[in-house]
Amino acid sequence: MITSRRMAAVDVNAEALGVPRKQLMESSGNAVARVARELVEPGASIAIVAGRGNNGGDALVTARFLKSYDVTVHLLGRPETISTTIARENWDALVAVESNLQTVTDSSKFDLGAPDLVIDAMLGTGVTGALREPEATAARAINDSDALVLSVDVPSGVDADTGDAEGLAVEADHVVTFHDTKPGLEALACDVTVADIGIPQAAELFTGPGDLLELHRHAQSHKGDHGDLLIIGGGPYTGAPALAAQAALRAGADLARVACPEHVAREVQGYSENLIVREFSGDHLAPEHVSDLLDYAADRDVVVFGPGLGDHEDSLAAVRQFLTEFDGTAVVDADALQVVPDIDTEATLICTPHQGELQKMGGTTASDWRERTDLVREFAADLGHTLLVKGASDVISDGNEIRVNRTGNPGMTVGGTGDVLAGATGALACVLPPLDAAAVAAYANGRAGDLAADEFGNGLVATDVLKRLPVGLVGEE
């Protein structure tokens, strides 16, 4: 089962792997035609009601595979407003062979006729909300007809993730959905066919550019809407928390705060005027600081625990106490990781160990990433938290799903790149579920490292990665 937003990401990832969307549309249209042929005999009349996006494009392909039928295509809108190149190409192909094409520019004049089968391809899985015109009029006509109704991917007007409809929706007898079933289809009283259209399993397993589609920034956003982050660290080291905080800003967080010992606060602040630094007494984190930090963290979206913290006995005791009492979302990195297996917490944790740290936590690893995926998933399930295990191939799991990231290069073994990753993960966890946040952060961090390596080879430093961390990861909606 796959959500509509995840499906959109997988489509883009498939294209990045060399399976173009045009090929997927051809396979989708063919799959719909196969089901149509099972529903009605050759010579039957079929009305295709097509929208102007890729869902409609799938059905335009379908029309070419139904040569033995009396097919009429009703395009909802003018051909020049078809929204994608590949859908427009399939419309042009039907024009070239003089298919029976009707354009609906005035919904009051929509005439479905009396077909034996209607193929509903008005709106796909990515469209939610109440039907507008001309789709609303077309849906009423479809529902009022005596024809069998076959919907492409999801009945128009139905939310593919919930099965709900905000008012009018097409009442389908059959649905052909692609690659995997959608959560909302289970609630519908209709037959569902899941068609394999050639999307490789790797498009779901490996992170790719499609994963960035999960991110949106509304045009009317305000400061804080996309993340108010707290990094707790520093003491033995000053660069690590500063790197994490700056990476959080680069990855889209609106505010990045650092809580660190007073004796390094000035140095941490000196790295960037963009950071908000809050000091606590002493030269390292200790249990007496926890109460104030919990109060401070309560107003933040995510806490990143560990960069530059060190492994002083008092500091580890403080981490243990903080996480035991904390019930928010936290990214745990570096020395703070070792306390995670021993705590009972209501917090949502994303742990970012390298393989040596994973073993210190009690996990096991393997040299081959394929073997490592099962080991990471099992350990994440045992912990009850999300793991992002760093390596030549990063393995991410929440104990159920697995993602593997292949961006990055050997130059990123330099110190500090893990702090950049932790900060980016924290920023993305402000706006995404834990598994998605970790996967997107791994992809973006590795991609930034690859851009840096193109310029510097393997002689990288962490700030090279930080400066190339994709700015504007959060796209405008």
Asked if pLDDT for residue 475 goes beyond 60, the answer is: no
Asked if pLDDT for residue 14 goes beyond 90, the answer is: yes
Q: Which residues contact 168 (CB under 8 A, 6 or more apart)?
A: 130, 131, 136, 139, 140, 157
Asked if pLDDT for residue 438 goes beyond 80, the answer is: yes
Cα dihedral 314→315→318→323 (10° resolution): -150
- Say how many C-beta atoms besides its own lie within 10 A of residue 252's C-beta: 23
Q: Which two tokens stand for residue 339?
A: 């306390």
Q: Which long-range contacts (CB under 8 A, 24 or more apart) does 135-140 make?
A: 135/51, 135/76, 136/107, 136/168, 137/107, 137/108, 137/110, 138/49, 138/74, 138/76, 138/104, 138/107, 138/110, 138/112, 139/168, 139/169, 139/170, 140/168
- The C-alpha angle with vertex 77 and arms to 73 and 83, in degrees rounded to 5, equals 100
Asked if pLDDT for residue 12 goes beyond 60, the answer is: yes
For residue 387, CA distances in Å to 133, 327, 401 come to 46, 18, 11
pLDDT of residue 223: 83
How far apart (Å, rounded) are the C-alpha atoms in residues 23 and 198?
A: 9
Each residue's pLDDT tens digit, 57-67: 999 999 999 99
For residue 395, CA distances in Å to 3, 340, 359, 379 come to 22, 18, 14, 12
Q: Which two tokens stand for residue 173?
A: 């007898």
pLDDT of residue 474: 47
Mean pLDDT throughout 446-465? 94
In percent, how much of the chain has pLDDT > 90?
A: 90
**Half-sphere exposure of residue 222: CA atoms within 13 angstroms, side-chain side:** 0
Q: Which of 27, 93, 21 is nearest to 53 (CA)?
A: 21
Asked if pLDDT for residue 472 goes beyond 70, the answer is: no
Mean pLDDT throughout 3-19? 93
Asked if pLDDT for residue 376 goes beyond 60, the answer is: yes
Mean pLDDT throughout 174-197? 95
Lowest mean pLDDT among 269-273, 363-367, 373-377, 471-475: 471-475
How far apart (Å, rounded) are the C-alpha atoms in residues 105 and 76?
A: 7
Inter-residue contact 165 to 188 (CB < 8 Å): no
Identify the DSSP state of 78.
Answer: -
- The C-alpha angle with vertex 134 and arms to 130 and 137, in degrees rounded to 5, equals 80
Identify the DSSP state of 87.
Answer: H
Identify the DSSP state of 213.
Answer: G
Helix or strand (DSSP H, E) at 359: helix 355-360
Pairing of strands 386-389, 100-104: unpaired
Each residue's pLDDT tens digit, 119-145: 999 998 877 788 999 999 999 999 999
Asked if pLDDT for residue 184 goes beyond 60, the answer is: yes
pLDDT of residue 62: 98
Mean pLDDT throughout 208-229? 82
Each residue's pLDDT tens digit, 142-180: 999 999 999 999 999 999 999 998 889 999 999 999 999
Phi/psi of residue 280, nearest 5 degrees: -130, 160
Mean pLDDT, the chain, rounded, equals: 94
Each residue's pLDDT tens digit, 344-369: 999 999 999 999 999 999 999 998 99
pLDDT of residue 220: 74
pLDDT of residue 363: 94
Asked if pLDDT for residue 412 goes beyond 70, the answer is: yes
How far apart (Å, rounded) are the C-alpha atoms in residues 175 and 196?
A: 14
Q: How far apart are the first and last CA of the chain?
A: 26
Q: Which of 439, 413, 416 is nearest to 428 (CA)?
A: 439
How far apart (Å, rounded) are the C-alpha atoms in residues 220 and 17?
A: 35
Residue ranges of alpha helices (H) inside 251-334 are: 262-271, 290-297, 313-325
- Say how many C-beta atoms besides its own lie within 10 A of residue 185's C-beta: 23
pLDDT of residue 226: 83
Helix or strand (DSSP H, E) at 304: strand 302-305
Q: How would residue 476 be classed by pLDDT, with cut points 50, 70 and 90? A: very low
pLDDT of residue 477: 38
Q: How would residue 473 be classed by pLDDT, with cut points 50, 70 and 90? A: low
Lowest mean pLDDT among 96-110, 136-150, 212-226, 363-377: 212-226
Inter-residue contact 357 to 341 (CB < 8 Å): no
